[in-house]
Amino acid sequence: MTDNAWRRPRFFHLLQIFRSTAGVPGATAEAGVFRGLGSRILCLERRREDPDFDGEGHFGVDSFEGLSPPATIDDDPSCAGRFADTSVEMARRTLEGFPAVELIKGWIPEALDQLPDQQYRFVHVDVDLHDPTRASLEYFFPRMVRGGVIVIDDYGPWPNGEFPGCKIAADEFVMRHGIGLAALDTGNAVIFKR
């Protein structure tokens, strides 16, 4: 984790917030898997809760081709394809020991249609850009159980506003639905389903 000074505290927050859902029923998911580290952290914690956990009930959705073309609101036309140095196979290796994790390759929002219709206790949204962030929130929030949590990466604050579209999408979503959002100093934001 030495390539990004924010990564260690962001994953620390991800784990601590996930732990707050212990005992809450439902599946877990990650939109924006990249190489699978976030999903591995969640799966390891699920195994701590249940020593027989093999990955069943955890889903990862990613293009595995990097970021999609950004919308104008994202304010960075050059970011398309960033984070393409991954693959389903690479994520699968990271998730070794969790053979039942379901990885779905495809672009959001279309790839979300491949998920089974179910409820979730925890979702990690790490898709950086406005349109896939909005689509992920619109898909997952209605499927969250009471007590469930969504963590959004790349909300900010960032010194240069690196992914402003993500923040805009999250802010628009919570305003439209009259729900709260907590921003953390590591750039994550959290939505609780009450």
In a domain, 129, yes or no: yes
Judge whether 2 lies within some domain. no
Q: Are 59 and 104 in contact (CB under 8 A)?
A: yes
Per-residue buried b or exposed e for 35-73, using 16+ beta carbons within 10 Å of the residue's own CB: bbbbbbbbbebbeeeeeebebebbbbbbbbeebbebbee
**CATH number of residue 27's parent domain:** 3.40.50.150
Give the contacts of 191 (CB within 8 A, at least 6 positions apart). Answer: 137, 141, 149, 150, 152, 170, 174, 179, 180, 181
| pLDDT tens-digit readout, 8-57 | 888 999 999 999 999 999 999 999 999 999 999 999 999 999 999 999 99
Q: Is residue 79 part of a domain?
A: yes
Q: Is 133 part of a structural domain of the chain?
A: yes
Within-domain flag for 173: yes
Q: Could you list the residue range(s) of the whole structural domain that residue 158 is in?
A: 7-192
Number of domains the chain is built from: 1
Instruction: Find the angle CA(104)-CA(17)-CA(172) to the nearest 5 degrees.
Output: 70
Q: Which residues of 162-176 are buried (b: 16+ CB within 10 A; e: fewer)?
A: ebbbbbbbbeebbee
Q: pTM above 0.85?
A: yes
3 and 35 Cβ atoms separated by less than 8 Å: no
Helix, strand, or coil (residue 84) = coil
In a domain, 1, yes or no: no
Residue 115 lies in a domain: yes
pLDDT band at 160 (very low <50, low <70, confident <90, very high): very low
For residue 161, is it within any domain? Answer: yes
Look-up of token digits 């693959």:
87
Spell out the residues 6+ positions from residue 79 whose beta carbon is closer than 8 angstroms to its own.
Answer: 67, 70, 128, 129
pLDDT of residue 128: 93
The H-assigned helical ranges of 95-129 are: none
Which position has the token pair 């599946």?
27
